[in-house]
Structure 1
Amino acid sequence: MPRTILPLGIALLFLLLTACLANVALPAGPMQWLVILGAVAAGYMALNIGANDVANNVGPAVGAKALTMASALALAAVFDAAGALLAGSDVVDTVANNIIAYNAGLTPLTLIQVMIAALVAAALWINASTFVGAPVSTTHAIIGGIVGAAVAAAGFGAVNWPTVGVIAVSWMLSPLLGAIFAAALHGTIRRTITRRANKIAAARIWVPVLVAAMSGIFAIYLATKAPPHWWQPNLPSIIAIGIAAASIGWLVAMPWVRIRSLGLTNRKKQVAKLFRPPLIVAAALLSFAHGANDVANALGPLVAIVRAAHLLPTSGTLVTSWELAIGAAGIALGIALFGPRVIHTVGEQITKLNEIRAFCVALSAAVTVLTASALGLPVSSTHVAVGAVFGVGFVREFLAIRNMNGAAVPVRASLVDATMLNDRPEDALARERRNERRYLVRRLKVAQIGVAWLVTLPAAAALAALLYRVLIAFTG
């Protein structure tokens, strides 16, 4: 019982402190209590973002046993909070301004009510998804909430439907791109390292190359995410940063891999240990990028609420330090208090991961987001990461089935014992193949996650519309 009550108590204390902070930070006004309610709703949303989205960044590392649950939660909390504080103000404008149409004609009071309803609805949906261990897109949840509340307030014309339509396309695009990149990277590592006769010698050549690629890709990724008020690098500068980071990564990895490989045997499980440090670094960098991007799902509506209450324009206004503090602290606490459930789903319940497969997932997530950004396509970090896990699992399953179909009937204890069970050997082999397929990718878990993805936006929209009606009944 205390284990269950303590996290809830800490979360409630955080929401109380959030209300106090908003009350102190803002000047008094006629809609002050609504602004405080909005700040509490944003804090609740930030808690749920941390609880659900943490699995995108550290779930594969935990599943691969590269990080313990405690160390993964600590790493994610620190780097997510740092990303939110240092670079979290850049993407708030999209959520605050781009979903509701400019000609919607919402009054400040109505806009505040819409944003509060959207925050609470999205947070409730993510909370329920986290409880059952389903990773969902927090971006889709908050956009669905804004859409539902705005339609309830001013009809379908209040929504910028082209923006919502582009986001809906990412439902299919995000997991597909993540799966393709992860499967391709897994196949590359398989051909260059794990299927070679001398795996250690191959690893000494290719692991530094992969680390260099990871270093360059993440450097470019973080450079493109730098806040504009800090730095706006042009394309040549970004490419130069990527080349410099890749060179440093290769120079650092070369001697380290050679030294660490001296004590390893020529086995795949041993070679996989060389991927552990790069995987941990990748998890930290993904957490930083996640904090910088997804904190907007909590702070975007809060910015709109605060500016509407004080009749200020939302566009082009930087997020204040107290708003960033709510987002960063909420995400960090959500990770620490409620993160393990979804981490187990992503890291352990879809397919079996080791350090190599988890590295493929992490690097593919960064490559996918970079590619989508270059093409101007919005993607969900949750869908990308989970799609990458799907990709690794399904390509392993395909290769396993192909190898089994192309090989002679193996002599295994299960087949030898088949005669004792009055089974034909081919029946036992078929049963074993079916069991192997279920083991590599759990179909039920894939179906559950897919359903959660499909219903997130409409469910959050319907709940937000209902909450908006309830809210106006009390606030007028």
Structure 2
Amino acid sequence: MEEFADEALWLVIVSFIVAFVLAFGIGANDVANSFGTSVGSKVLTVRSACILATIFEMAGAILIGYKVSDTMRKGILDLSMYNGQEMELMLGCLSSLIGSGIWLIAATFLKLPISGTHSIVGATVGFSLVCRGTKGLKLQTLGTIIASWFISPVMSGIVSVILYKAINVLIINAETPLTPALRALPFFYMATISVNIFSIVLDGPKLLYLDNIPLWLAITISLSIGLIVAIGIQLFMVPWQRRQVIEDIRKSSNKDVQFTFGESTDSSRDGSPRTSRMMEEGTAGRDLPVIIEVPANNNGYILAQSESLSDLPSKESKTGNDILSPKLNLPTNGNVTPAYGLSPNSSAVPLIREKTIEPMQMDVKIEGDDSPEIARVFSFLQVLTASFGSFAHGGNDVSNAIGPLIAVWLIYIEGTVLQKSETPLFILIYGGIGIAVGLWIWGRRVIKTIGEDLTKITPSTGFTIEIGAAFTVLIASKIGIPISTTHCKVGSVVFVGWVSSSSSSGVDWHLFRNIIFAWVVTVPVAGLLSGGFMAVLRPLLL
């Protein structure tokens, strides 16, 4: 045993180093999926997203990651095929770490969100084909994993779309959207927290003494904690949210508009020009005459009419409060010149604007945007569900990164390929640290792809994307199927982006095509890299 330990020590050391690089790649690529939508909808900054991701990735890896790591290191390969050939299996695990790590780093450089799960599974299959051909592969388990790659984005997308439609009908398009949004807030928090707690306490890790809790007790604990959270939300957060929304809208409604006025020339009765000066600057409120564009005259100026703000069409808020009454946002600065031929002292003077001035932007809700009150309510929910998604991602993908490393470590400790020990906690933490470092250093590349480039994301759509993808990943993690977090998140983004827009242009299909291509080639590329390293290293080192 001592001779084997001395001989295999270098493999353990190198495997730890390479596993950290792989975890770095997963952090830079896969973890971006967790908070990409929150950053894209401007709910979180990149820095805030990195802080939350670090916390919840680590928590997910420690609390639920053990189960998936068992599948990755025991479910794909028939380890008994390597009985007596422990060094060969350890070298194969090292090759899989190298192959998947290289591909993840390359994909991150290209800003393509690929699957860490795909990479590690493909790399594992690659070295096994070199060593044992198809004999060492558990094809049924492998088939289940491959099927989940196609099912997971569709399932995640459907869950997100159903939730989006429900929120759209019951809240966003309601007569008073703020009221049902605040009414639903405790329920959303309770559901999210309860599912999270349930995933932890049911069949939890032995390390936390949660492996013997019966189903009824797990349900009772999770619902009780969720109910306590819901009561707290109803008593404290709902009133606070209502005050914040009303205050935000009051501030935006009372904002003054600054205009700069210049010289104006009118005509006397004999036709000679006469010049007078208007005030240099003026401040106007809601009764300020508003410029309405009409076709330009021969001099290239845009003629305008003077109308009262109250006569203009605007989108009414449906809360019934004066605070949320019709409003119009004018630009804070603009150059305005009265027309020739009339005195600037006239209260009914038509105005003209120089053709260099940008068109005025009215406070009309752009298609796909959330109203201010809905955006504020769902911003908090999106942060919660993004954290939920990060927790699920930690349980699923941290395990993928360190699955081969766990195999190397336990073979080294036990001296046999048939490992019986529980997944070591310190290795789960080690993988979580590597993922956090990758996210902080390089994560913003893929965050932009997921959160901004693929489709327009608002707090309400971001919430549905997060909850659909996270729910799918978490359930799969508890079942023990290492599905792709990337596929779930991208599936939800595309489904919701497509449904929420009035046309297919709501999704960048060219970018989506590139992502699909990266998905398709991930397994063979990682497998070829891993198999190639194994083919080169085995005759040299064994």
**Larger Rg computed on CA atoms:** 2
1:257 to 233, 238, 246: 238
2:224 aligned with 1:244: yes
Q: CA deviation at 1:473?
A: 4.1
2:165 to 187, 209, 221: 187
Partner Cα distance (2:104, 2:531) in 1? 16
2:420 aligned with 1:316: yes
Correspondence list, 1:26-65, <5 A:
29-65=6-42
1:77 to 54, 67, 76: 54
Higher helix share: 1
Q: CA deviation at 1:460?
A: 1.0
2:230 aligned with 1:164: no
Q: Secondary structure at the match of 1:66?
A: coil
Contact 2:72 2:482 survives alignment (8 Å): no
Q: CA deviation at 1:67?
A: 0.6
- Residues 59-81 of structure 1 show CA distances to partners (whole Å, capped at 9, x for unaligned) of 11111111101111121123223
Gapped regions of structure 1 (runs ≥ 5)? 1-25, 402-436
Correspondence list, 1:19-168, <5 A:
29-85=6-62, 87-105=64-82, 107-168=85-146
Aligned to 2:519: 453
How does the TM-score come out when normalised to structure 2?
Answer: 0.71
**Which one is further off, 361-370 or 55-64?**
361-370
2:447 to 328, 343, 350: 343
Aligned to 1:430: none
Aligned to 1:391: 495
Partner Cα distance (2:427, 2:12) in 1? 12
Q: CA deviation at 1:244?
A: 1.8
Partner Cα distance (1:34, 1:129) in 2? 27
Amino acid at match of 1:308: I
Q: CA deviation at 1:329?
A: 1.7
Contact 1:101 1:159 survives alignment (8 Å): yes
Contact 1:350 1:390 survives alignment (8 Å): yes
- Residues 450-469 of structure 1 show CA distances to partners (whole Å, capped at 9, x for unaligned) of 11112211221111111111
Superposed CA RMSD in Å reads 2.4
Q: CA deviation at 1:103?
A: 4.3
Q: CA deviation at 1:178?
A: 0.7
- Residues 258-309 of structure 1 show CA distances to partners (whole Å, capped at 9, x for unaligned) of 3322343537232221122222222223323322332222222112223334
How does the TM-score come out when normalised to structure 1?
Answer: 0.81
Gapped regions of structure 2 (runs ≥ 5)? 250-316, 318-369
Q: CA deviation at 1:58?
A: 0.8
Contact 2:190 2:226 survives alignment (8 Å): yes
Q: Secondary structure at the match of 1:190?
A: helix
Contact 1:114 1:150 survives alignment (8 Å): yes
1:366 to 467, 470, 486: 470
Report % sequence identity. Answer: 32
Q: CA deviation at 1:123?
A: 0.8
Partner Cα distance (1:257, 1:466) in 2? 58
Between the two proteins, the alignment pairs up a number of residues equal to: 413
Amino acid at match of 1:468: M
Q: CA deviation at 1:85?
A: 4.3
Contact 2:392 2:470 survives alignment (8 Å): no
Correspondence list, 1:268-287, <5 A:
268-287=371-390
Q: Secondary structure at the match of 2:6?
A: coil
Partner Cα distance (1:182, 1:325) in 2? 31
Partner Cα distance (1:235, 1:320) in 2? 25
Q: 1:39 to 1:374 in 2, by over 3 A?
A: closer
Contact 2:392 2:474 survives alignment (8 Å): no
Partner Cα distance (1:46, 1:297) in 2? 9
Q: CA deviation at 1:376?
A: 6.8
Amino acid at match of 1:52: N
Q: CA deviation at 1:215?
A: 2.5
Aligned to 2:358: none
Q: 1:54 to 1:261 in 2, by over 3 A?
A: same
- Residues 352-387 of structure 1 show CA distances to partners (whole Å, capped at 9, x for unaligned) of 111111111121123223554677755322211221
Aligned to 1:18: none
Q: 1:244 to 1:158 in 2, by over 3 A?
A: same
Contact 1:58 1:283 survives alignment (8 Å): yes
**Which one is further off, 466-475 or 286-295?**
286-295
Q: CA deviation at 1:199?
A: 1.3
Q: CA deviation at 1:33?
A: 1.4
Q: CA deviation at 1:152?
A: 0.6
Amino acid at match of 1:391: F
Partner Cα distance (1:34, 1:375) in 2? 32
Partner Cα distance (1:374, 1:84) in 2? 13
**Which one is further off, 127-136 or 251-260?**
251-260
**Which one is further off, 259-268 or 52-61?**
259-268
Partner Cα distance (1:253, 1:172) in 2? 38
